[in-house]
C-alpha cells in the first residue's frame, strides 16, 4: 500500500498535468489482481477510472474518489511536494491526505477482499474521478451514465479522520464584473471607471445578508469575496473590474435566489448611478449534501465502522452528484482534514492501515 501511495503522489495530477498518469497507476494495481478496470480518457490527459468486482446483484457498494489534487502553492515545502517522502511513520506529498492516501487504502481493501476469494452477494464498484477540486467534471461525466441498483450505497473517501459525515454545505462560485469606458489617465472625466463602479458594489455587499434560515447541522450560509482584478495599465481608466465570490450554501437552498438578490443590488445602484453596469456569471455550482442519518445504509455503515453518530462539515465533495440519483452517500476516510491544501501535507501510515480494515469491514458487512 505504501508503494501504491508513493506512486500516486509522484503521478502529479494537478489541473495542469491532468489525472491520466494517476489513473494508470491504479489501473496497473487492479489488473495485477485480476480485477476488471477501465479508464475513460478525454482531452489528452483527463481521466476517470472505474473498477468492478463481485457479481451483479441487488446490492452494490460504490467507492467514489477523486484523482486530482490542488497545486503545491508558492510556499516552501520541507520535502518536494511530488517526491512522496516517508519519514517518522508518515508519507509526505501533495495529495497524501486529499485524497491519494484514502484512494490507496480503498484500492488495497478491494484487492484484499478479491484475493481472499470470499463469496460476495453484490458488487464492489470503485471509481476515481477527475476534476473534483475545480469543476467536478469527472463526477458529472461518470454519474450521467451510471446505472446501479437502488440498493447501492456510496462512500466518498475524503479525509474525515474516520468520522462518518452525512451532510455538507454546497458551493456557488460567482464572478461579478463591472463595465466601464476606457479613457486616457489624464482625462478621467471622459471615461467610466469600472473600479469605482466596483467600489459602489463592494460597499453594498458589506451589508448584504443571504436570506436563509441557519441549518441545524451546518449553521449559516456564508459568502466571501476572494478575488479582485481590474485595470490593465496605470495610465488608462479601467473599463472592467471583476470580483470572485465563494458562497457556501445549505440544503434545499436555491442558488438562483442568491443570484436574483445580487441583481437587485445592481438595479439599486444603477438607480442612483445611471452609468453603473454589472454582469454576473456562475463559475461553479454544487448543491449541499444531506443524507438521512437514520436510513438503513447510514445505520449499517456506522455499525460496521463502530461509530455512534454522524457529523456535518463545511467543505464540499462530489457527493451531491450521486445523491441526485437517489443514492445514500456517506463521507469517510483517513487523514486529518486540516492538512488538505496546505504545504507539507502528509498522512499517517497507521491511519492508512486502519482505513483498509474499515473499508473491508464495510464491504463484508453489506455484501456477505
Q: CATH number for the domain including 90?
A: 3.40.630.10
Classify each residue of 214-253 as buried b or exposed e, where b means 16 or more C-beta atoms within 10 Å of its C-beta.
Answer: ebebbeebebeeeeeebbeeeeebbbbbbbebbbbbbbeb
Residues composing the chain: 368
What's the mean pLDDT in 138-167?
Answer: 95
Kindly state whether residues 224 and 355 are assigned to the same domain: no
Q: 284-320 pLDDT, tens per residue?
A: 999 999 999 999 999 999 999 999 999 999 889 999 9
- Clarify whether residues 147 and 162 are in a common domain: yes
Q: How many domains would you assign to the chain?
A: 2
Mean pLDDT of the chain: 96
Q: Are residues 164 and 174 in the same domain?
A: no
Indicate if 262 and 158 belong to the same structural domain: no
Evaluate whether 366 touches 328 at the Cβ level (below 8 Å): no
Closest CA to 336 of 198, 159, 184: 159
Average the pLDDT over 138-164 and give the result.
94
Which of the listed residues 243, 265, 286 is the one where a domain comes to its end? 286
Residue 240 shares a structural domain with residue 293: no
Which of 286, 316, 338 is the endpoint of a domain? 286
Q: What is the C-alpha to C-alpha distance for residues 333 and 55, in angstroms, rounded to an integer?
A: 25
Q: Does residue 63 have a pLDDT over 90?
A: yes
Examine the domain organization and report whether 198 and 144 are in the same domain: no
Same structural domain for residues 12 and 116?
yes
280 plus 236 within the same structural domain? yes
State residue 147's pLDDT score. Answer: 87
Q: Cα–Cα distance between 158 and 170 in angstroms, integer?
A: 15
Q: Supply the pLDDT for residue 56.
A: 87
| pTM of this structure | 0.91
Q: What is the mean pLDDT of residues 266-287?
A: 97
pLDDT for the residue 365:
96
Same-domain pairing of 116 and 182: no
200 has a pLDDT exceeding 90: yes
Q: Are residues 60 and 197 in the same domain?
A: no
Same domain, 229 and 85: no
The CATH number given to whatever domain includes residue 180 is 3.30.70.360
Residue 57: pLDDT above 90?
Answer: no
Domain final residue, candidates 253, 269, 286: 286
Instruction: Tell me which residue range forms the domain holding 307.
Output: 2-168+288-367
Tens digit of each residue's pLDDT (9 = 90 or more) over 104-137: 999 999 999 999 999 999 999 999 999 999 999 9
Residues 106, 232 share a domain: no
Amino acid at each position: 500500500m505504501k508503494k501504491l501511495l508513493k506512486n500516486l503522489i509522484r503521478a502529479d495530477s494537478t489541473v495542469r498535468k491532468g489525472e491520466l498518469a494517476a489513473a494508470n497507476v491504479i489501473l496497473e494495481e487492479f489488473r495485477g489482481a485480476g480485477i476488471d478496470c477501465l479508464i475513460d480518457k478525454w482531452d489528452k490527459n483527463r481521466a476517470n477510472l472505474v473498477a468492478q468486482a463481485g457479481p451483479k446483484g441487488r446490492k452494490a457498494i460504490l467507492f467514489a474518489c477523486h484523482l486530482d489534487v490542488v497545486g503545491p502553492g508558492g510556499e516552501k515545502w520541507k520535502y518536494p511536494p511530488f517526491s512522496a517522502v516517508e519519514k517518522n511513520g508518515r508519507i509526505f506529498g501533495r495529495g497524501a491526505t486529499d485524497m491519494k492516501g484514502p484512494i490507496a487504502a480503498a484500492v488495497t481493501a478491494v484487492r484484499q477482499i478479491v484475493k481472499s476469494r470470499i463469496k460476495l452477494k453484490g458488487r464492489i464498484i470503485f471509481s476515481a474521478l477527475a476534476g473534483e477540486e475545480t469543476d467536478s467534471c469527472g463526477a458529472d461525466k461518470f454519474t450521467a451514465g451510471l446505472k446501479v441498483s437502488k440498493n447501492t450505497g456510496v462512500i466518498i473517501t475524503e479525509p474525515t479522520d474516520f468520522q462518518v459525515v452525512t451532510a455538507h454545505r454546497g458551493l456557488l462560485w460567482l464572478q461579478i464584473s463591472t463595465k466601464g469606458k476606457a479613457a486616457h489617465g489624464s482625462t478621467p472625466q471622459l471615461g467610466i471607471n469600472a473600479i469605482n463602479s466596483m467600489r459602489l458594489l463592494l460597499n453594498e455587499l458589506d451589508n448584504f445578508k443571504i436570506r436563509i434560515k441557519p441549518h441545524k447541522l451546518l449553521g449559516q450560509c456564508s459568502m466571501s469575496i476572494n478575488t479582485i482584478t481590474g485595470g490593465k495599465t496605470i495610465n488608462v481608466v479601467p473599463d472592467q473590474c471583476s470580483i470572485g465570490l465563494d458562497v457556501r450554501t445549505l440544503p434545499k437552498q436555491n442558488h438562483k435566489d442568491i443570484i436574483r438578490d445580487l441583481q437587485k443590488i445592481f438595479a439599486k445602484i444603477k438607480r442612483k448611478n445611471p452609468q453603473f453596469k454589472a454582469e454576473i456569471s456562475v463559475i461553479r455550482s454544487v448543491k449541499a449534501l444531506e443524507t438521512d442519518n437514520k436510513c438503513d445504509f447510514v445505520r449499517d455503515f456506522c455499525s460496521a465502522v463502530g461509530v455512534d453518530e454522524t457529523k456535518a462539515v463545511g467543505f464540499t465533495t462530489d457527493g451531491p452528484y450521486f445523491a441526485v440519483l437517489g443514492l445514500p452517500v456517506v463521507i469517510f476516510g483517513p487523514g486529518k482534514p486540516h492538512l488538505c491544501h496546505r504545504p507539507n501535507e502528509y498522512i499517517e501510515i497507521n491511519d492508512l492501515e486502519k482505513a483498509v480494515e474499515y473499508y473491508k469491514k464495510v464491504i463484508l458487512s453489506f455484501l456477505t
